[in-house]
Each structure stands twice: as C-alpha cells, then as structure tokens.
Structure 1
Amino acid sequence: MVQVENRRRPGTPAWVGLMSHDPAAAQDFYGRLLGWDFEPGPAELSGSVSATLRGLPVAGLGRIPADALPSMWTAYLAVDSADGTADDIRSNGGTVAVGPLQLGRMGRRAVAADPLGAAFGIWEAEEFLGSEAAGEPGTLAWCELLTGDAEVAGAFYRAVFGLEPERVQGERESDRADGGRERADGGREDLVALRAGDRPVAWIRGVGDAAKAVGPRWLTVFRVADADRAADLASEAGGQVRLPPYDTRYGRMAGLEDPDGALFEVVGPLPM
C-alpha cells in the first residue's frame, strides 16, 4: 500500500465522503465490500466516522436526515484557499451550498455545485491532507464527473481550479455506471481528461441525456481485488449491481449501488 503524505495540487481529488441516511448500515456494507474499519470522525462533524484501511483514513461517512437529499458520494477537490475558490465558483456560474467552514486544525471545506448541477466539495488542507492510502484494494482509484455537457463542465473546472481539459477517445456510453441506459443510436460519449500539469487527476464523461438517469454527479471509483467478486458481495450485502462487470482499458469494472441508493464504481485487474 502506498501512503500519501504530500499536499495535492489544486483540483486533485483529496478525499471522498458519503452522506447516508443510515451510517451504521453503510459501515456494514462498505466494511464487507472494501475491507474498511471505522473510527469516530472529527468533533466538528458530530456523528461522522472515518473509514480506515490498515489504520490510514480513506473516506468519511456522515448522516443526513431521512427527508433530506438522496444518499451520495461527494468528491472533495484540493484547493489552496477555500474562501478564494468559493468566490471563483460563484463567479463562474456555480453555487456554494455549505461553507467554507473551519474544521479545527484539519482544514477548511465547502460543498458546491458546478453550473450543470453536479455537487462536489473543496478541501483546503491544514493538518489533514486527505486520504492517506492509495494503490491497493479498498482505496480510491479515481473520480469522474458524469455530466450532460463535457465542454461546459471542462470550461468551469479550468476557470476555477486551473485544470486543463483534454478530449480523448471515449468508450460506449452503456459501459458506464449511469443506470445501464444505452443510447438508441449507439453513439459514443465525450471523454475528457482533467489535467493538472502533465497528468490527469480526474475525468469528465459527457453523456448528454443519459445523465438524466441519475442526474449530473461526481462518481467515485474504488479499487478491488476482483470486480466480479465485489459485485457478488454488493448484492449479498443488500446493494445492487447497476452495471455488471465488464472489461475496459483501465481494468475490469462494475457499477454498484449501496443499500441506501448511493452510486459508485469499482475497478479490479483484468482476468488473466
């Protein structure tokens, strides 16, 4: 396992958090699926827990009321200044719903949405840099944005975070965790890499009307040892397989849904 100890470049996913109506059930599900343990979260976030892998934090879980928004994963993008980035979000057509708020000596965070409605967080690290484990099953592989207009989204993330959008050849739209909807015309999605310097740090998938199936959103992709086994475990633990395992250039992937309705993806090695 790689231990991450460096501050991330602006726009790089630093942390992912799940807001759930039933955190206890979420702990049971993700503990079984990803091998996570759990411990109390920061005092400033009452009732939250931190998911850990071999003692290193990998994600956060918090509670939302039963009549609140749907359960979902949120990607927190690293920033140098939460307050300055919040201003940039507003001036480029986005909205800031929460914060920026100070979390003790850990850092400052805010929750926002881009002009197309995809929610995300921003994280100005102080003592807590974000997820501290990478590169093995149970850790975050990458984050990707499902949206109806890759060009508009790319322009927003360039203006706010300095990320450079680069269009690359996409895969079939039906090969994503978008609810399994396939375009009748068999068309292909727009795939855009968001680059920080010389490397991609996140992806945009422009899928047009297919985004309406689940709404514009950031999706989290977790590493697993075996995508087929992960799909079976998700079903056994009360979740659903939204997109059965399939092979991609990145590995074998599956689109899953936890018992509370939060969508995410897993990626494992391709079969030998």
Structure 2
Amino acid sequence: MTQPRTPKWRQLADEVRRQIEDGTYSPGSALPQLKPAAEAAGVSYETMRAAYKALESEGLVRSVKRTGFVVLQAPGRRRVTRGTTVTRDPARGYVFPAAARPDEPWEVHGRPVRSFVPAPKEVAEHFGIEPGTETLRRRRVTSPAGEPPFQLVDTWLSPEAVEDAPQVAEASTGPGGYLDRLEEAGHGPIAWTETIRIRLPERDEAQLLNISTAMPVLETTIIGRSARTERPIEVTVRVIPGDRVELFSELQRARSARWPVAPVRPK
C-alpha cells in the first residue's frame, strides 16, 4: 500500500520551520509576503497562507497588520508543580503556586496599569455586580528576566474591597501588597480557590503576550473570599501561552492501591 502524500502546505510549513530553526529567519524578522512566496514556491496563495497559519498555530510566527507574519522569539517551556499551598515571603507577602523558581529574578514588561474598566461577565458574577460595572483592575505582564512575556496577570478588586481599603487602588500598596491591605481592613484571613482552563486568547491578550490569537492559553483564576462577609473580594486571572508551560503533579497511592497487592481470597 502507498503511504498518503504529505499535503503541499504541510511540506512548505516544514521547510519554513527549518529555516526559522537554522536562523535564516531570526526572531523579529518578517517572512516573505504571501503572494511572492506562493509564486516562488509554485503554489496558490491559499496553500502558502495555510503553511504560514500552521506555523502561527505552533507559536513560531504571529500575523502583524501591514507587516505580515513575524518570527517570534522561541520561549522556554517551564514545568509548574501544581501544589495547593500558599506560602508567605517576609518581603513580598503571600506567594501562590506559580512558575517562578526560588530566587529567580522576574521583570515587568511595560508599565503595570491600574484602571477602572467594565467588569467582564465572569468577574461581575463573582462580585455580585452588573456586567460592565466600572471595576478596579490591576494589570501587569511579567516574565523571567531576559525572556519574552510569560504571563498576563489581571487582579480585579470588588467595589467593597476598594471602599474598605482605598490603598489597593494606589500604585504602591505597601509591604505585603493589596492582600495585606484587605486583611488589615477586616477581611482576613482570606480563603482562596483556584480553577484552571484552556482557551483561546482575546486580541488584546495576544498583543500583550506577543502571540497569535490562534495560540491556546492556560488560564488560572484565583478567587479570594473575605472571612468577614464570605463573599469574593478579589479575582486574579493569570494567562500563560500554551507553548510556555506544562503542569506537573506527583501522584500518590491511596491505601487501596498499596503494594504488594493484597491477594483476592476466593469466596
């Protein structure tokens, strides 16, 4: 039996990928425009576009308006051990399970932004407010020093939180950050839950993370509940490109799964 023939668009994608890997096209450079590239390869415009879009879905290139497809800097994949323990650093305050390694320097890309913006439906539901209500959002893009943007972090603070602890809306929230200010205002000890899902990024998220809108992202959402009201007062959404991270958990044996296996006695 004959093997199925590799589609032409896949052959072209493989060839361009090799050129990216060997440095023919370096990070930040643009691939040849679709029309001349298609003519040079002797294929249709749509075949060439399918090849570029395949590379975009892999996170190797990104479509930029009026420029074309631009080669992205190859990110390093990081293993995240998913624990459930929140620790505390004397200098930084609470530390949640994340991709950071001990003593590893991280940097902020651009400037952190604090602004009152319309709350999306999911955040509004947690806070018990109408979707679109102007709500405080603290946004920052961070990564290990010297690496491309690794994560976009949005912290939403409820109107109640801002009223009780006005300092959470300021540039500097003081030692321990906004969580310490909330707990000092009577909401401590805050209790947290976390959910994780995979989705496609919004256009502004893709721009900030320098990825294609076709690149799936890992989204983790941590919800902090007030001990006083038992209602959510802060929601932190972390968005990480899917090609940058892998989750790791060490599985434990329950008593029923212990070794050696207990023999089954005949009835």
Specify the TM-score bucket, using the shorter chain as the normaliser.
under 0.3
More helix by share: 2
Q: TM-score, normalised by structure 1?
A: 0.24
Q: TM-score, normalised by structure 2?
A: 0.24
Higher relative contact order (CA 8 A, sep 6+): 1
More strand by share: 1
